Structure 1
Amino acid sequence: MTDKDILLRVGARIRELRKEKGFTQEALGEKGGFHFSYIGQIERGEKNVALLNLAKIAEALEVDISQLFIQAHREDSEETQADIQEINYMLNQQNPQKVAMAKNVVKEIFNYK
């Protein structure tokens, strides 16, 4: 994967999350403290955005920064995506022991070994 591929993928994911939240580039820029043209450059893969700026964008989008690097390959409904984000949020609030317990429960539910 080339550097440009990485920039394009992250930019596309930011655009996807921004649209899911119903934000314009201007609204996201304002919420994150950036000019809207900078958001557009990131979304088009034209800027090698700094990690701290990615954290600010994730915060403005109200998602964990890891969500900026996850490609949505599934054709889930908005409700399913919201459920997944809620589960992720809940897990991020727990201590490591509870996260491990939840992982084991999910493995059992899906018969995943």
Structure 2
Amino acid sequence: MDKEILLRVGARIRDLRKEKGLTQETLGEKGGFHFSYIGQIERGEQNVALLNLARIAEALDVDISQLFTYINLTSNEESQSDIQEIMLMLNQKDPKQIAMAKNVLREIFNNK
């Protein structure tokens, strides 16, 4: 279990980094870390301190909670990836935009 949480958080950081179009080196520079440290975190080799996670989240321009928002990819990885991407997009919007998106989804699914 201990290693699994490191792997999941590391994979989530990697996904967010790639979504932002950042290299390990660029993320390291933004957060004040060596790129090899970022690689160790992403591979689950490094038990990263909470304060360092906060710096990584800031460098990624996401809330620290996003580093722990991952979906267990078991059955349909593509659908799960899409859901995760939608959650990330919504997390970056204001409450009015979220409410609008919710109404759009209701209309789509209630009309079928």
> Could you tell me which residue of structure 2 aligns to residue 76 of structure 1?
82
Cα distance in 1 for partners of 2:87, 2:12 equals: 16
Task: Give the structure-2-normalised TM-score.
Answer: 0.71
Cα distance in 1 for partners of 2:15, 2:89 equals: 18
Cα distance in 2 for partners of 1:13, 1:43 equals: 8
Cα distance in 1 for partners of 2:81, 2:34 equals: 32
Point out where structure 2 has 5 or more consecutive residues left out of the alignment: 74-79
Identity %: 70
**RMSD (Å), alpha carbons:** 2.8
Structure 1 residue 71 displacement after superposition? 1.1
Aligned length, in residue pairs: 97
Code of the aligned partner of 2:82 = D
* Alignment of structure 1 residues 17-96 onto 2, 5 Å: 17-72=16-71, 73=73, 74-76=80-82, 81=85, 84-90=87-93
Point out where structure 1 has 5 or more consecutive residues left out of the alignment: none
Q: Deviations over 1:18-48 (max 9, x none)?
A: 1111111000000111000100110111111
